[in-house]
Amino acid sequence: MHTSKSQQLFSRAQQSIPGGVNSPVRAFKSVGGTPLFIKKAKGAYLYDADDNKYIDYIASWGPMILGHAHEEVVKAIQEQALGSTSYGAPTELEIEMAELIKSMAPNIDLIRMVSSGTEACMSAIRLARGYTGKNKIIKFEGCYHGHADSFLVKAGSGVATLNIQSVPGVTLGVANDTLTCAYNDLKALEKLTEEHKNQVAAIIVEPVAGNMGCILPQPGFLQELRSICNDKNILLIFDEVMTGFRLAPGGAQEKIKVNADLVTYGKVIGGGMPVGAFGGKKKIMEHIAPLGSVYQAGTLSGNPIAMIAGYTTLKILKNNRHIYHELEEKTIYLRDNLHRVFLETKIPFVINQFGSMISVHFSNHAVNDFASAASANNELFKKYFHAMLKRGVYLPPSAFESWFLNNALTREDLDKTIQATSESLKEII
């Protein structure tokens, strides 16, 4: 497999872009080597600058749930673009998008569109503070909620991938208002809320974590989290940027049957376009300007191209709920067969899976929080990543990221992935 054009492009990119990339994980620092530059994608496949073809398990980090360049989505974008790409004024499409989200996601009365998942989470935290009059928030180690200052304390995703322990530019005051504890550790959470009684505005959590690999909530964890928030007058924020409209039409709230006070969205709701949203009950959301005094604004919020891409994607998902069953069946098939292949080796492993999210950890113990994910043999993951890439399978270039399946994947694609894993494991032992 030749990647000379990607190597040339990366060298050129580093002359104009910090690190040669516009999002750190893309730089392949965690796995080594030169990042691939993608030229196009269709269905379940990526094609790089050298015309190599790959089975895609990134799905643009989640949003391409229907597959790349889905005909209905592409057609809708093309038709909308003929009427301009932005207005800076309200459109009926924004209303239709909000109504569609409300019809699919439980517990949403009002929803505000923004331009990224980071912006959605940042705005939800500001709203929680404004609504409660309290300053501190609690997040879980390894959960990544975007790159706003409050969230970069013990974060997952790219921060974990690059092994950044503290982030320059985040003030001590912001860090002091961000409390952390281990994911799935209810005792630590209860202790933290007691130590900072009546000071915590919100607890923000990925209901199924995807930024330290795919990490599942242990039975009762989210239910007890809801109970603690009720008892202590704390808002519960579900960061469903990854899980929203991917795990079910109503996201993790529907799948796990736990309602949050505020929910943030991204990824799938943009159909591949930059978009985010946050929503919740009217009594909380009405504190956002112009109804209330908690200010939030965005010039390109509700951008018509992003709205039509997301609206078309969500409409397809709402009208074809069987897609979720198909995706989960494919993911379970992949999980079970990867498990079988790994058992044929002496390599310790853990495979976590929830819905259409899955991750492989080279570990001999359960992986249920950031510490256990970080203690896995990530050097072995690097070898596995490159062995799979050589065989035409594109995995996330970090052991701290979930894989995302898309519904364009065929049984043949899955079987090729399983065979590639068998060959790769034999190569790296």
310 and 237 housed in the same domain: yes
Return the CATH number at 217.
3.40.640.10
Q: How high is the pLDDT of residue 418?
A: 98
Statement: residue 346 has pLDDT above 90: no
Tell me the three-class secondary structure of 249-308, residue by residue: CCHHHHHHHCCCCEEEECHHHHCCCCCEEEEECHHHHCCECCCCCECCCCCCCCCHHHHH
For 349, other C-beta atoms within 10 Å of its C-beta total: 21
Q: How confident is the model at residue 167 (pLDDT cuts 50, 70, 90)?
A: low
- Whether residues 306 and 339 share a domain: the answer is no
pLDDT of 101 above 60:
yes
Mind listing the pLDDT tens digit for each residue in 25-78?
A: 888 988 999 999 999 999 999 999 999 999 999 999 999 999 999 999 999 999
Structural domains counted in the chain = 2
Task: Indicate which residue of 134, 136, 267, 330 is catalytic.
Answer: 267
For residue 161, the model assigns a pLDDT of 47
Report the pLDDT value the prediction gives residue 162, as an integer from 0 to 100: 46
Q: What percent of the chain has pLDDT over 90?
A: 89
Q: Catalytic residue among 57, 144, 265, 384, which?
A: 144
144 is catalytic: yes
Q: For 247, which DSSP code?
A: S
241 and 100 in one domain? yes
Q: Give the end of a domain, one of 268, 293, 319.
A: 319
Residues 64 and 75 in one domain: no
pLDDT of residue 224: 97
C-alpha separations of 192 from 139, 149, 184, 215, 222 in Å: 11, 21, 14, 22, 16
Domain with 270 in it: 71-319
For residue 157, what pLDDT is reported?
46
Rounded distance between C-alpha atoms, residue 269 and residue 267, angstroms: 6
> Which of 286, 319, 352 delimits the end of a domain?
319
Q: Is 416 a catalytic residue?
A: no
C-alpha closest to that of 314 among 8, 99, 156, 1: 99
Least confident of 99-113, 160-174, 266-280: 160-174
pLDDT at 25: 86
Summarize pLDDT for 393-417 with one digit per residue, the tens. Answer: 999 999 999 999 999 999 999 999 9
On the question of pLDDT at 122 being above 60, the answer is yes
CATH number, domain at 379?
Answer: 3.90.1150.10
What are the residues whose beta carbons fall under 8 Å from the beta carbon of 41, sequence distance 6 or more? 47, 56, 64, 68, 69
Pseudo-torsion of CA 200, 201, 207, 211, nearest 10°? -80
Q: Are residues 136 and 99 in the same domain?
A: yes
164 and 96 both lie in a single domain = yes
Mean pLDDT for the chain?
94
Give the pLDDT mean for 252-270: 96
Residue 253 confidence (pLDDT): 96
Final residue of a structural domain among 296, 319, 342: 319
Q: Is the pLDDT of residue 423 over 90?
A: yes
Of the residues 48, 56, 185, 239, only one is catalytic, namely 239
